[in-house]
Chain A
Amino acid sequence: MTAVPEQVTPIGYGSMRRKEDARFVRGKGTYVDDIQLRGMLHGAVLRSPHAHARILSVDVTAAEAHPKVRAVITGETLRQRGMAWMPTLSGDQQAVLATDKVRFQGQEVAFVVADDRYAARDALELIDVEYEPLPPVMDARRALDAGAPLIRDDLPGRRPGPAGNHVFDWEAGDAARTEEVFARAEVTIAEDLLYPRVHPAPLETCGAVADFDPIAGKLTIWSTSQAPHAHRLLYSLAAGIPEHKIRVISPDIGGGFGNKVPIYPGYLCAVIGSLVCGRPVKWVEDRSENLMSTSFARDYHMRGEIAATRDGTILGVRVHVLADHGAFNGAAQPSKFPAGFFGVFTGSYDLQAAYCHVTGVYTNKAPGGVAYACSFRITEAVYLVERMVDMLAFELGADPAELRMKNLLRPDQFPYTCATGWVYDSGDYARTLQLALDKAGYDGLRREQAARRERGELMGIGVSFFTEAVGAGPRKHMDILGLGMADGCELRVHPTGAAVLHISAQTQGQGHETTFAQIVAEELGISPDDIDVVHGDTDQTPFGLGTYGSRSTPVSGAAAAVVARRVRDKARIVAAAMLEVAADDLEWEKGRWFVRGDPDLGRTIAEIALAAHSDLELPDGVEGHLDASCVYNPPNLTYPCGAYICVVDVDPGTGKVSVRRFVAVDDCGVRINPMIVEGQIHGGLADGVGMALMEVIAFDSGGNCLGGSFMDYLLPTAEECPSWELAETVTPSPHHPIGAKGVGESATVGSPPAVVNAVLDALRPFGVRHADMPLTPAQVWRAIQGRPLRPDLAIT
């Protein structure tokens, strides 16, 4: 069913039109580059052309002499202030501006502050940097070679050699038990799979306007930040400004997708620029800077193994991962999880055993890794298991849908503790998959495929079933740089019954101004039109860790429900006082408390709100007004799931893939606004087409980034995407206050394997078991020839 947007505003859940649209359709949004302050200057970053080089000298004399240049900041300037390095979200350090060496092509070397953006750009050419190029490490698979160049000689104790570029080792599951299972299994398959480096590429690039007021000692930063409070804390630590004197404002953000979680050197340079020049400084990166230096995603070289019985019972999954972390470990995930939530590679199946080992390495590429709607590496995990299951089907001559159906977890197994210790909260997987098969007309598609195969036509049907784990996360397990991942929330009902909700989550297009109002509306019966949602300004919102990893609904959404219920409970007491009855005598129907057995005798929320601010006598211990606040620490993650089916046609003469249909059945529990949920899914499905067929950031052996523009880093357009066909099952989360699960990243997680499985299914007549994404026409043709390309390297 397609959600039909409602014409009348629902008081609560429903496909309500978005409140935020009013400004966006008029071109009246306020994005960072829209901000113009009096006296504002513009910054530009000089970047390294080399992937690995010593810096011999930096001469800024000519730049400083440019009539429109106000300041030039170098690594040396920062070093003298102790600011040349900043901590990353993975406990590493990253250069703000390079001092000794540059370690990836595009790394920040100097920062110019000028009167306008054109002059700033001109001034970059006036900076003379002398480099001594060094051999770069561009192939992660060679990073731990004995002779590999040492990248991080800034870290104490690092020496050239096999451990020189080593970042971490991490494992999950039971290695011994898994080995046992594999040893006795009738069928085992092993395959190398690459999830290539890709990039979230939000349409709005990253940027900041920093304005330091020297009189008040206050720093205001407008920036593209998915986590304003976390950023405030980090700026405080990095710039030495007291936290209460820093205000971080995320205005409208043109897409985040994880790209806008870290603090980038450019932001800090803008802050420093403002401190030095005494004026606001704006820095907004261009697209090549975004693609070459900000947080990339994936780059997992995986060796996957699956063990099964000959009749198709999956017994175990094992995977070894080489994780390319670039030059600095800037991956953004909870601190105890250096490989994020990759541990759910156990997938949606009842395994007897599972084990994974992840080795992280440095290379001379941009830092990052956790981004692009990955749910902290669950994109990688789901791709791994869903490809292995498909390869198993191929090996057994089994139907991929039937093989999954046979092995999916059953409802009675929930809550299910998987072989790596994650507790999946709820799901009715077979029902979800069956709905997808029915909607796709799966049997008919297989018949059509058979007929086409006889004519030499290549049609493919790909299935993917995913279990996601979102809503980080419980304090006892998860923190980011020591910060617990609980979200604050505050609700205030005004005397006339309108309300304002202050949330810590940070929308980048997910519709929070509407959906969070709907949560409160559902609990209190106030129209969403009368509830304002305030977000994005650390001066006006409670602390929380922001929006990424599909955590807004699971954590902040829960907080909003809890806070609304606290208001409702308080309203009961006030209503009881108004009606001179006991609170226990009152019952609730949406919008009012009434006397049990005497429904005409009640008080609406609006009436209660007014009374709460009046001179009404309240019981001892009960304070006036109608407000509440909470800090919600989630007891567990939530586990949405989905079944996706993709149909493709492949031109055998050219290798060109055309996506004919895509059926997506998602289960994200209770849906607050079905229209918005579907929109989130649509977007993620396009990501899958993009990654499966065209997106990659490759490098040549000299260290050049080959994906540094939208001419090279290709994103899908409306012509490459089919009309998405959606349906849903609803399996509420048992622990979430409103039974909702997150959904923002589900489609990005589940769709790439669906498309890849479809293409490889099309190529089955050629006996192709696997080929790495992106399945460009060249890659498809090469796969048919039995010589697929390695997508992370230059094609030679």
Chain B
Amino acid sequence: MEVTVTVNGDTCTRDVEPRMLLIHFLRDELQLTGSHWGCDTSNCGACVVWLDGAPLKSCTALAVMASGRDVRTVEGLEHDGELDPVQQGFIACHGLQCGFCTPGMMMTARWLLDHIPDPTEAEIREAISGQICRCTGYENIVRSVRWAAAHPDGAAAQPDGKTA
């Protein structure tokens, strides 16, 4: 079946089986391997992307359901090569260790900040409560999101000329 999905602004058409999960479509058909998968039961959230502007566990949707719609993944977080404040926050606050849950966490964080620009710690924890991290104990993920909330335009360039 032919599906046409706009992913990070690019419209892509592929012929796939109706049963193909959206996460596999993104990873295997479009080579966008930044989104991951980690379970069989929609619990872990490693696969979170946006569908029509709202976070979705892409392991729990078929690619055909996304046909004609808009998907945004971690690869689409940066703008013109500049990291999104959420990405900068995760680097600044050690919000990742193995990096496997990170894309999903950042996509949810970006959506949260778009809707609640100054979230409390409780609001951040609730927003990511459908996603598992095994490395960070969540502490620095929360701090990373708070950093992004405090730096909505990102960080200025570093003293040594490097941005995050």
Cβ-defined contact, A710 with B130, below 8 A: no
- With beta carbons under 8 angstroms apart, the residue of A28, A204, A717 that contacts B100 is A204
Q: How many chain A residues touch B (Cβ–Cβ < 8 Å)?
A: 63
The yes or no answer to B132 lying at the interface (CB within 8 A) is yes
Closest to A27 in B: B34
The 4 closest A-B pairs by CB, nearest first: A27-B34, A509-B98, A254-B100, A24-B99
Measured CA separation A510–B158 after assembly (Å): 25
Cβ-defined contact, B158 with A509, below 8 A: no
Cβ-defined contact, A5 with B129, below 8 A: no
User: A residues 1-27 with Cβ under 8 Å of B?
Assistant: 5, 7-9, 17-18, 20-27
Cβ-defined contact, B139 with A252, below 8 A: no
The yes or no answer to B44 lying at the interface (CB within 8 A) is yes
The yes or no answer to A414 lying at the interface (CB within 8 A) is no
The yes or no answer to B63 lying at the interface (CB within 8 A) is no
- With beta carbons under 8 angstroms apart, the residue of B75, B94, B100, B133 that contacts A18 is B94
**Residue numbers in B under 8 Å from A117 (CB-CB):** 24
**Residue numbers in A under 8 Å from B111 (CB-CB):** none
The yes or no answer to A215 lying at the interface (CB within 8 A) is no
Binary contact track B97-130/A, C-beta < 8 Å → 1, others 0: 1111111001000000000000001001110111
- With beta carbons under 8 angstroms apart, the residue of A18, A203, A252 that contacts B91 is A18
**Residue numbers in B under 8 Å from A678 (CB-CB):** 94
Binary contact track A198-213/B, C-beta < 8 Å → 1, others 0: 0001111100000000
Cβ-defined contact, B96 with A24, below 8 A: yes
The yes or no answer to B135 lying at the interface (CB within 8 A) is yes
The yes or no answer to A118 lying at the interface (CB within 8 A) is yes
A-B contact count (CB 8 A): 191
Cβ-defined contact, A686 with B137, below 8 A: yes
Q: Given A204-B98, A254-B99, is A27 in contact with B73 using a C-beta cutoff of 8 Å?
A: yes
Instruction: Mark the stretch among A530-538, A718-726, A787-795 that contacts chain B.
Output: A718-726
Cβ-defined contact, B35 with A27, below 8 A: yes
Cβ-defined contact, B74 with A27, below 8 A: yes
Cβ-defined contact, A5 with B92, below 8 A: yes
Cβ-defined contact, B98 with A8, below 8 A: no
- 30 A-B pairs (CB sep. < 8 Å): A5-B92, A8-B160, A17-B94, A25-B90, A25-B91, A29-B34, A33-B33, A33-B37, A117-B24, A203-B100, A203-B101, A252-B99, A253-B98, A254-B38, A254-B98, A287-B44, A678-B94, A679-B136, A679-B137, A680-B97, A683-B135, A686-B133, A709-B40, A710-B41, A710-B43, A711-B43, A718-B126, A718-B129, A721-B139, A723-B139
The yes or no answer to B164 lying at the interface (CB within 8 A) is yes
Binary contact track B124-164/A, C-beta < 8 Å → 1, others 0: 11101111111111111110000000000000001110001
Cβ-defined contact, A8 with B158, below 8 A: yes
Binary contact track A690-709/B, C-beta < 8 Å → 1, others 0: 00000000000000000001
Binary contact track A243-277/B, C-beta < 8 Å → 1, others 0: 00000000011110100000000000000000000
Binding site for A on B (CB under 8 A): 17, 19-20, 24, 27-28, 31-41, 43-44, 46, 73-75, 77-78, 83, 87, 90-94, 96-103, 106, 121, 124-126, 128-142, 158-160, 164
- With beta carbons under 8 angstroms apart, the residue of B73, B98, B158 that contacts A203 is B98
Smallest CB separation, B104 vs chain A (Å): 10
Measured CA separation A478–B135 after assembly (Å): 28
The yes or no answer to A427 lying at the interface (CB within 8 A) is no
**Residue numbers in A under 8 Å from B106 (CB-CB):** 25
- With beta carbons under 8 angstroms apart, the residue of B74, B131, B136 that contacts A682 is B136
Cβ-defined contact, A203 with B94, below 8 A: no
Cβ-defined contact, B129 with A717, below 8 A: yes
- With beta carbons under 8 angstroms apart, the residue of B17, B28, B134 that contacts A201 is B134
Cβ-defined contact, B133 with A203, below 8 A: yes
Measured CA separation A568–B106 after assembly (Å): 42
Closest to B130 in A: A717
Known: A34-B27, A252-B99. 20 other contacts (CB 8 A): A22-B91, A24-B99, A26-B75, A26-B78, A27-B103, A30-B33, A118-B17, A202-B134, A205-B38, A255-B134, A286-B40, A509-B96, A683-B133, A709-B39, A709-B43, A710-B43, A718-B128, A718-B142, A721-B125, A721-B138
Measured CA separation A685–B135 after assembly (Å): 10
Smallest CB separation, A371 vs chain B (Å): 13
Measured CA separation A766–B3 after assembly (Å): 62
Smallest CB separation, B76 vs chain A (Å): 9
Cβ-defined contact, A676 with B137, below 8 A: no
Measured CA separation A8–B160 after assembly (Å): 7
The yes or no answer to A684 lying at the interface (CB within 8 A) is yes
Interface of A is mostly: loop
User: A residues 32-58 with Cβ under 8 Å of B?
Assistant: 33-34, 36
**Residue numbers in B under 8 Å from A375 (CB-CB):** none
**Residue numbers in A under 8 Å from B136 (CB-CB):** 679, 682-683, 686
Closest to B20 in A: A118
**Residue numbers in B under 8 Å from A287 (CB-CB):** 38-41, 44
Binding site for B on A (CB under 8 A): 5, 7-9, 17-18, 20-31, 33-34, 36, 116-118, 201-205, 252-255, 257, 286-288, 508-511, 675-676, 678-686, 709-711, 715, 717-719, 721, 723-724, 747
Closest to A690 in B: B134
Measured CA separation A679–B98 after assembly (Å): 11
Cβ-defined contact, B46 with A203, below 8 A: yes
Cβ-defined contact, A717 with B132, below 8 A: yes
Measured CA separation A249–B26 after assembly (Å): 25
Smallest CB separation, B134 vs chain A (Å): 5
Smallest CB separation, B91 vs chain A (Å): 5
**Residue numbers in B under 8 Å from A511 (CB-CB):** 97
- With beta carbons under 8 angstroms apart, the residue of A7, A25, A118 that contacts B87 is A25
Measured CA separation A255–B97 after assembly (Å): 8
**Residue numbers in A under 8 Å from B93 (CB-CB):** 5
**Residue numbers in A under 8 Å from B28 (CB-CB):** 36, 116
Cβ-defined contact, A682 with B140, below 8 A: yes
Measured CA separation A24–B91 after assembly (Å): 10
**Residue numbers in B under 8 Å from A509 (CB-CB):** 96-99, 135
Q: Given A31-B100, A203-B46, A509-B97, is A7 in contact with B159 using a C-beta cutoff of 8 Å?
A: yes
Closest to B32 in A: A27
**Residue numbers in A under 8 Å from B141 (CB-CB):** 718
Cβ-defined contact, A34 with B43, below 8 A: no
Closest to B128 in A: A718
Measured CA separation A684–B97 after assembly (Å): 13
Measured CA separation A36–B43 after assembly (Å): 26
Cβ-defined contact, B90 with A31, below 8 A: no
Closest to A21 in B: B91
Measured CA separation A710–B17 after assembly (Å): 27
Cβ-defined contact, A679 with B125, below 8 A: no
Cβ-defined contact, B97 with A683, below 8 A: yes
Smallest CB separation, A417 vs chain B (Å): 34
Smallest CB separation, B79 vs chain A (Å): 12
Cβ-defined contact, B17 with A717, below 8 A: no
**Residue numbers in B under 8 Å from A204 (CB-CB):** 36, 38, 46, 98, 100
Measured CA separation A27–B76 after assembly (Å): 10
**Residue numbers in B under 8 Å from A25 (CB-CB):** 74, 83, 87, 90-91, 96, 99, 102, 106
**Residue numbers in B under 8 Å from A33 (CB-CB):** 27, 33, 36-37
Measured CA separation A286–B102 after assembly (Å): 20
Cβ-defined contact, B102 with A717, below 8 A: no
Closest to B83 in A: A25
**Residue numbers in A under 8 Å from B27 (CB-CB):** 33-34
Smallest CB separation, B102 vs chain A (Å): 6
Measured CA separation A25–B141 after assembly (Å): 12
**Residue numbers in A under 8 Å from B128 (CB-CB):** 717-718
Closest to B91 in A: A21
Smallest CB separation, A488 vs chain B (Å): 24
- With beta carbons under 8 angstroms apart, the residue of B39, B94, B124 that contacts A679 is B94
Measured CA separation A33–B23 after assembly (Å): 12
Cβ-defined contact, A675 with B132, below 8 A: no
Smallest CB separation, B45 vs chain A (Å): 9
Smallest CB separation, A689 vs chain B (Å): 9
